[in-house]
Chains A and B, each alone.
Chain A
């Protein structure tokens, strides 16, 4: 059987499995409330919670963009392992206070907390809409990155039998169907399958690249081809490391799809165990993925910026050519990569649907009609993202940076607001205005770094400073309404 045909068959088997899971999820639903559809009835146990958090956090960017970045930067990309760990530290600021409140107040969207914290009228209401818009823009960008990655991987796994545009459109439709049918249950269960596939696939890839010469020889070979790839980071790169840790540690904590999984956990014990294990997963994921990108340096020289995002599929194609068994494993890894991408795309889409329905359109998140509105919103967002995905112009890592630079502007309202009583909605709005303005001006002028720091990090520093200053001098927000 040819590689393309084997790939197509495995892909079809995988998609049929997803349909089965979605149907099972549909039958398992208890009612049509937003809580049941968007949060799986708040019943996610440790195993599914861990794997859904894992599959959602590690995405097409991780499986395609990060090897590409490893190829471009060399061993300096080891910071990717640290940056994913910084995310867990960022959660330490938010979750211990947010989780008990979410259980008591039945939050469905991040905006529910915003209204609870800052009040349901006036500046609190405006702040919820502004934060929701930030999240929608950032997540839309994230979804776009996933769709692009799906197109690249499918083209490779089927050896061109399914072209880029057909793959993007077909799989996007597929995600839309199972997400609409099964909601968070379908998404979390498929995430669990996808998470296992990812771990298995990366393990196999690590085994393959460790065969033969070993990792020490790899360092020597890379050093011969491109000495800068094994050199210690320069002063400017060190600053960039700090900036990357801050950007991800603060920005990625704001992923609404992850926040909603915190709401969806069955118990605090399950959540705690999942977060303990999540801290170790960068070592088995981002670190391995970096090594894959580096292993591509001596094999494929002089790839362009966008071409470098394809080093993973290129490595797999090379691996598949070494024998029939390896061909099967290579296909398995391809499907795992596709699984990683789809799992993030479906989580993002589900989250976008709930945020648009609840936080942007202001529908009641306890009303079953909101579920329908959320499904329709997800459909519209997917169509818009598809339009952009068919004409890719940016690297996957650049799309990730852009997403984080926008999303990080939401951080002070959540991370400071949850700890500091005097932090005000009006202050947060001023801060966001300043932060977004700086980020947008930099985007228009194509400025990506200021003194080696990501623009988003500089912008959020101003955001934070202005938000705190105005919170100190502005009059108090309206008092919070008592909850029943």
Chain B
């Protein structure tokens, strides 16, 4: 359970980094994909991935765990 959650969180971090259009030239006219400039479509795809991994991460998050004394 913890392993899946950790994996999902690492995946989310990677997707956030990938969502930034590093490899597109701002001076070049973009192609249009799915009604968006190509770089924006790429970012959107990454954000959809984040939403899916977020759902997985929360599904495997224990919110009833023993609180103990806190940290």
Contact = CB atoms under 8 A, between A and B. Distances in A.
Interface string A277-306: 001101100010000000000000000000
Contact of B20 (A117, A241, A420, A423): A241
A99 B51 contact: no
Interface residues of A, number: 55
Contacts of A218: 35
Select the residue from B25, B46, B70 with max chain A CB neighbours within 10 A.
B70
A82 B50 contact: yes
Interface string B23-64: 011111110101111011001101110110011011101111
Contacts of B47: 78, 81-82, 85, 282-283
B44 A101 contact: no
Contact of B26 (A79, A99, A101, A233): A233
Contact of B37 (A117, A230, A275, A418): A230
Task: Using C-beta atoms within 8 Å of the partner chain, give the interface range for chain B.
Answer: 35 or more
Chain A interface secondary structure, helix, strand, loop or mixed? helix
A89 B54 contact: yes
B16 A232 contact: no
A232 B71 CA distance: 44
B59 A276 contact: yes
Contacts of B63: 95-96, 99-100, 268, 271-272
Contacts of B67: 97, 100-101, 103-104
Given A96-B65, A231-B27, A242-B20, A276 B55 contact: yes
Nearest to B12: A89
Contacts of B40: 75, 78
B53 to A, nearest CB: 9
A376 interface: no
B65 A100 contact: yes
Contacts of B46: 82
Interface in A47-81: 75, 78-79, 81
Nearest to B61: A96
Given A216-B35, A420-B71, A232 B61 contact: no
A79 B43 CA distance: 8
B36 A219 contact: yes
Interface in A208-226: 214-216, 218-220, 223
Interface of B: 9, 12, 16, 19-22, 24-30, 32, 34-37, 39-40, 43-44, 46-48, 50-51, 54-55, 57-59, 61-67, 69-71
6 contacts: A89-B9, A89-B12, A223-B29, A238-B21, A238-B22, A241-B20
